[in-house]
């Protein structure tokens, strides 16, 4: 299905500012039922986008096609899966590369700071515009998992299930200064107003190579590409493809959103059943988080289940080792 876009109007942000004429891009697979009650919201990671749910998509953080499709864990014969592009990101929704309606120029560094609640509020507005009044589940990994947890707090009656993968209740590990400093070393950076020179591709490529390796891509490729030279060539190619399409400013916008994430004080608001999934080898969201998170959720009265993935594939284990938890996810949703 082709990328769709919906205009949701002006969005009042948590900061008090208004983001004007907001557009949300999204992909969907499966058909909405006549009562529009079979929708599953799937939320993408930090630098991926809605194509993560498509059979033709090749997001560098991991495709969800092993989990989403006919007869799979998120069965598209039964559910309509909707994956919106987060505001502040790159792939079609209003973000720093969008044109500011006030002056017709890209927002660039003037794009307003967002919170996780702003992102979720924009998605809620999209679903209401699509006449969806209830979700079967909200599912997400990494940045998407943080969004899923915020959904359970912001709109606790709107979904029956929440699946939070590679995520935390409190602020995740972020390195805003490191990313800003890397971008600022590019001669075209111009304090984030670089659009007349194109994107910062040659700066983004080595940054992306480092990201991919930290996500565990070397373990993912090792079986088919035992030669490290060949592996590095594939990683470099994927990094360059991504750099051609991802707006550098969005790296900072999304990282700042993650820096605002903390649902730990509002857990008693959760009404949905929760499935919490971590990977044994994830360097960002270690399974050492589980004991405290589960204790706090249960103390708040949340019906929570937990799965630790015994995978060598780190941060991307949930998608690249999908078979490890496919049965659990399928049964949880049903």
pLDDT of residue 80: 98
Q: Is 261 known to be catalytic?
A: no
Active-site entry in 48, 98, 142, 311: 142
Q: Is 266 known to be catalytic?
A: no
Active-site entry in 44, 219, 261, 315: 315
The rounded distance, in Å, linking the Cα atoms of 50 and 249 is 19
| Torsion angle of the four alpha carbons 247, 250, 251, 253, in this order, in degrees rounded to the nearest 10 | 160
pLDDT of residue 60: 59
Q: Is 303 known to be catalytic?
A: no
pLDDT of residue 216: 87
pLDDT along the chain (334 residues), means of 10: 88 97 97 97 95 78 88 97 98 97 94 98 98 97 97 98 98 92 95 90 95 88 90 94 94 96 97 98 96 98 98 93 96 96
The closest of 87, 108, 121 to 254, measured between CA atoms, is 87
Length of the chain: 334
The rounded distance, in Å, linking the Cα atoms of 94 and 87 is 5
Cβ–Cβ < 8 Å for 291, 307: no
**Which pTM value belongs to this model?**
0.95
Active-site entry in 98, 282, 311, 321: 282
């Amino acid at each position: 299905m082709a990328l769709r876009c919906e205009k949701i109007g002006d969005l009042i942000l948590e900061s008090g500012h208004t983001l004007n004429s907001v557009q949300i891009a999204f992909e969907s697979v499966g058909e909405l039922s006549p009562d529009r009650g079979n929708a599953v919201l799937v939320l993408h990671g930090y630098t991926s986008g809605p194509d993560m749910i498509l059979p033709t998509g090749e997001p560098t953080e991991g495709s969800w096609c092993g989990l989403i499709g006919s007869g799979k864990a998120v069965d598209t014969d039964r559910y309509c899966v909707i994956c919106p592009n987060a505001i502040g990101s790159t792939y079609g929704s209003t973000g720093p590369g969008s044109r500011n309606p006030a002056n017709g120029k890209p927002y660039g560094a003037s794009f307003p700071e967002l919170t996780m609640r702003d992102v979720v509020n924009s998605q809620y507005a999209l679903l209401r515009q699509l006449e969806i009044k209830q979700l079967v589940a909200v599912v997400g990994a990494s940045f998407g998992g943080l969004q899923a947890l915020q959904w359970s707090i912001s709109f606790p009656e709107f979904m029956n299930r929440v699946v939070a993968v590679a995520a935390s209740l409190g602020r995740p590990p972020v390195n805003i200064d490191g990313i800003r400093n890397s971008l600022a070393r590019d001669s075209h950076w111009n304090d984030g107003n670089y659009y007349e020179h194109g994107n910062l591709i040659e700066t983004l490529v080595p940054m992306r190579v480092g990201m991919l390796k930290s996500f565990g891509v070397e373990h993912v490729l090792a079986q088919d590409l035992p030669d490290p030279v060949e592996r590095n060539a594939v990683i470099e190619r994927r990094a360059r493809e991504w750099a051609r399409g991802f707006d550098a400013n969005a790296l900072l916008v999304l990282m700042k959103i993650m820096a605002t994430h903390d649902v730990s004080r509002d857990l008693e608001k959760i009404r949905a059943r929760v499935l919490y999934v971590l990977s044994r080898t994830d360097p960002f969201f270690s399974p050492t988080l589980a004991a405290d998170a589960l204790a706090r959720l249960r103390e708040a009265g949340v019906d929570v289940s937990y799965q630790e993935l015994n995978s060598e594939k780190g941060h991307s284990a949930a998608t690249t080792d999908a078979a490890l938890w496919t049965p659990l996810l399928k049964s949880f949703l049903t």
